[in-house]
Structure 1
């Protein structure tokens, strides 16, 4: 099967189609992934907490980006799991490795978020 790139939508139409695909993915994640729902709650709590802390704009943006990075890692992890499950549900070392690597990405993103919060709060309270 040959890929035909000539008939794909271009310009603004392509952007709107991509947005539709993304919204469908977010809806699926919110419905089917408990971890993503927890991260949505974390995002909402972060959005509410940031103005209350009176942090600098740059500190708030860094915290918000780190929170979104956790969600990004979760989406990539879920995509890996979906592809592995699509290939087959039988146990295989490489399938397990792929899923473990996706999980490790989420773990690293959470550690980054914790470090960002710690650094910002340290500066807030002790500088």
Structure 2
């Protein structure tokens, strides 16, 4: 439980989910939500990210960005990361086939080099 400016956050487990509640100074429930484990981890990461941004902006003396800009930026980043993971996997499989092609090319070059060395020996 965390108290902040007269209210508090309560976090518990209910119905196999993480329950997050915001309680006002007068002990009225202002907000509550049930999150699956992965959603709770994502939220924790997001909160940590913004807390770090806030610390950094206070250190540098610059003001915070608008909330709308941050949300759209986050959604763009998550879409990009999803797409990059998919493309990374396809690139890895392509790279594997490229590597085997390179090995074959190297072997052919070595063999041709050996053959040319043999022909030099036979002409003596």
TM-score normalized with structure 1 length: 0.28
Which one has a bigger Cα radius of gyration?
Answer: 2
User: Greater helix percent: which structure?
Assistant: 1
Higher strand share: 2
> Of the two structures, which has the highest relative contact order with CA contacts closer than 8 Å and spacing of 6 or more?
1
